Each structure stands twice: as structure tokens, then as C-alpha cells.
């Protein structure tokens, strides 16, 4: 069993780093920590970065989880290799590019590239953005899955992943006390379906709604409230069609974990928003 602590970063290819930088800093409210001709690192909390853009194909999208115990990296690689999962160890140069001491990569059954990182770098300075969006940190991703039942089995059998809730066949998965760090949404493609940043309160969601409308950013879902995590949310479109979400999903599952029962929600609009907001996101439609 591979034990991970939390989701750590997303890495996205883009053909236009300048546009990505403007959007990430001026619109989302992330802080630029480093920029070169082919890299952009953005931070949202105490870590060196939680989102990186590289000059390349926007279809290349990666998420990373931090291992609970850095010394299990070799064993994790061995476990996945023995299970015939496409995987490999990262080189020293690739680890330096990710600001981690070491890492490995693998492909989930849909073909999503996932990285497992050991000893990722903290920042010596706190997160200090130029736009105050109320961001508390990187929350979770929605990941596209061509078969959520198959991919759920992959995550449950290889990792310390637990189901918090389902919407139809799609699981919202946690690896720690927070409601979810990854949700698998049925799609015809691989890739990241949305990237979530947690914000402090509902006022941040509504302030963002006015701000994004003023900036003519396409809102694709919300403002609303998820019955699953209980969070208020707002989804909006970013560079290369990536969907970003703000939410204040503060539901935690602690104490006697065996007593928590994952809840099954039907594939119905009320399972996505309890207020009645309708998504303009393919994977959130019935």
C-alpha cells in the first residue's frame, strides 16, 4: 500500500507563459515565485509552489502527491512496477525542476500522469499575492476518468485512498482528513478536469463572482454549494480551457474513520449544487 499525505502540485503545459502568468496572478490570485523563459512557478500556501506552467503542449497535465514517508519512494516504485503500471523514477534534474528532493511518475489506467514526490521544498517566505482572493491553499483536482469504477479500484487497491462520497459512479477521494483531494469524473479524455483553491469564506466566493464578471472571465458554474463537501463554490475558465474553482469546503472526516459512511448521491443536478446553479462543464452534466 502506498501512503500519501496530500495532493502537492499541478503542472500544466502552455504555449503562452505570459498569458498564464497574467491570469494566475491578476485573476486567480496566486503568487509568482519564479519565472524563466520556459517555466512559471506559482504559490498558494507555505510550499515552494503548488502550480507550475511549462512551455509545451497544453494537453500535458500532471498532478503530484507527497509521500507520507519519503523513504518509501523506492518501495512505491517497486510496487507499481510489479503491478505492470507504466512508471519510472525521476532524474535529479527533473527533481530539481519540480523543487523536490526525489520523485517517481506513473500513469493511472486512464493515462493520467501522476507524480509521487519525496521531501518537496517549503518556501522560506509566506504566500503574499498581489490580489487578495482569500486563498488558503491548493485544495484538490477533478481528474478525468474514462472509467471511474476501474480507476477507483486502482486507487483503492494501491494507495491509502478512501471514498468520501460518490456522485453516480464518480468517487470523491481523500488521503487525509479533508473531504477530498481528488475526484474522478467520467470523461472521454484524460487530463485535469478542474483545479481547486480553497478560500476562507463565502464572502471570498461572492467577491470573486463580482470581480470575475467585471473582468469578463467566463463563469462556468456557480456561485453555488456542493452537498458533498458542503463547500460554497465558483468555477471559471482559465488559460488553455482549464477550469479553476474556488471553494470553502471545510468538511473534515476525523475521529473514528471506520464509522464514516461514504454517501451515494445520484447523477442529478441537485447532487452538484444544492442551490440550483447549473454547470456549463461537460463532466458535471447528467
Ligand X SMILES: O=C/C=C/C(C(=O)O)=C(/O)C(=O)O
Binding mask 200-229 for ligand X (x = CB under 6 A): --------------------------x-xx
Residue 40 or residue 167: which is nearer to ligand X going by CB? 167
Sheet holding 182-186, edge to edge: 219-225, 232-237, 243-247, 192-199, 135-145, 182-186, 170-174, 162-167, 263-265
CB 275 within 8 A of CB 224: yes
Q: Least distance from C-beta 10 to ligand X, angstroms? A: 13
Among 50, 72, 112, 196, binds ligand X (CB under 6 A): 196
Sequence-separated (6 or more) residues with CB below 8 Å from residue 29 = 129, 130, 131, 132, 133, 134, 135, 197
Q: Least distance from C-beta 193 to ligand X, angstroms? A: 8
Residue 98 or residue 178: which is nearer to ligand X going by CB? 178
CA distance 238 to 58: 12
Q: How many residues bind ligand X (CB under 6 A)?
A: 14
Among 54, 138, 159, 272, binds ligand X (CB under 6 A): 272
Which residue ranges make up the site for Fe ion (CB under 5 A)?
196, 245
Q: Identify residues 106-165 at the interface with ligand X (CB under 6 A).
A: 142
The binder of 100, among ligand X, Fe ion, none, by C-beta within 5 to 8 A per type, is none
Closest residue to Fe ion, based on beta-carbon distance: 196
Q: Identify residues 52-91 at the interface with ligand X (CB under 6 A).
A: none
Q: Where are the alpha helices (DSSP H) in the chain?
A: 17-22, 73-82, 92-98, 148-158, 202-214, 269-272
Cell of 15: 504555449
The binder of 172, among Fe ion, ligand X, none, by C-beta within 5 to 8 A per type, is ligand X
Q: Least distance from C-beta 59 to Fe ion, angstroms? A: 21
Q: In 10 A of CB 177, how many CB atoms? A: 11
CB 37 within 8 A of CB 24: no
Q: In 10 A of CB 277, how many CB atoms? A: 17
Q: Least distance from C-beta 224 to Fe ion, angstroms? A: 11
Sequence-separated (6 or more) residues with CB below 8 Å from residue 22 = none
Among 61, 110, 181, 247, binds ligand X (CB under 6 A): 247
Residue 49 or residue 226: which is nearer to ligand X going by CB? 226
Binding mask 165-184 for ligand X (x = CB under 6 A): --x----x-------x--x-
Angle at alpha carbon of residue 108, lines to 105 and 110, rounded to 5°: 135
Q: Least distance from C-beta 165 to Fe ion, angstroms? A: 12
CA distance 201 to 254: 21
CA distance 59 to 242: 10
Residue 164 or residue 196: which is nearer to Fe ion going by CB? 196
CA distance 184 to 186: 7
> Where does this chain bind ligand X (CB under 6 A)?
142, 167, 172, 180, 183, 196, 226, 228-229, 231, 247, 249, 272, 284
Amino acid at each position: 500500500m502506498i501512503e500519501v499525505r496530500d495532493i502537492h502540485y499541478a503542472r500544466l503545459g502552455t504555449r503562452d507563459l505570459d498569458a498564464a502568468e497574467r491570469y494566475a496572478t491578476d485573476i486567480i490570485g496566486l503568487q509568482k515565485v519564479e519565472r524563466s523563459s520556459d517555466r512559471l512557478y506559482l504559490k498558494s500556501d507555505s510550499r515552494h509552489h503548488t502550480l507550475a506552467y511549462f512551455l509545451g503542449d497544453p494537453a500535458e497535465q500532471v498532478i503530484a502527491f507527497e509521500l507520507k514517508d519519503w523513504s518509501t519512494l523506492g518501495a512505491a516504485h517497486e510496487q507499481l512496477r510489479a503491478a505492470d503500471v507504466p512508471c519510472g523514477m525521476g532524474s535529479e534534474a527533473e527533481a530539481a525542476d519540480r523543487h523536490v528532493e526525489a520523485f517517481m511518475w506513473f500513469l493511472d489506467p486512464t493515462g493520467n500522469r501522476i507524480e509521487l514526490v519525496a521531501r518537496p521544498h517549503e518556501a522560506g517566505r509566506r504566500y503574499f499575492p498581489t490580489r487578495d482572493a482569500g486563498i488558503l491553499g491548493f485544495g484538490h483536482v477533478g481528474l478525468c476518468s474514462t472509467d471511474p469504477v476501474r480507476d477507483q479500484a486502482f486507487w483503492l487497491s494501491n494507495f491509502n485512498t478512501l471514498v468520501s462520497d460518490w456522485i453516480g459512479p464518480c468517487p470523491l477521494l481523500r488521503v487525509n482528513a479533508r473531504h477530498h483531494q481528488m475526484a474522478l469524473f467520467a470523461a472521454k479524455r484524460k487530463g485535469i478536469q478542474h483545479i481547486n483553491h480553497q478560500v476562507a469564506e463565502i464572502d471570498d466566493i461572492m467577491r470573486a463572482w463580482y470581480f470575475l464578471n467585471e473582468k469578463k472571465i467566463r463563469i462556468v458554474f456557480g456561485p453555488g454549494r456542493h452537498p458533498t463537501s458542503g463547500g460554497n463554490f465558483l468555477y471559471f475558465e482559465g488559460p488553455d480551457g482549464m477550469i479553476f474553482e474556488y471553494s470553502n469546503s471545510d468538511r473534515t472526516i476525523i475521529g473514528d474513520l471506520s464509522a464514516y459512511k461514504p454517501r451515494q448521491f445520484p447523477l442529478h443536478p441537485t447532487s452538484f449544487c444544492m442551490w440550483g446553479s447549473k454547470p456549463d462543464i461537460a463532466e458535471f452534466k447528467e
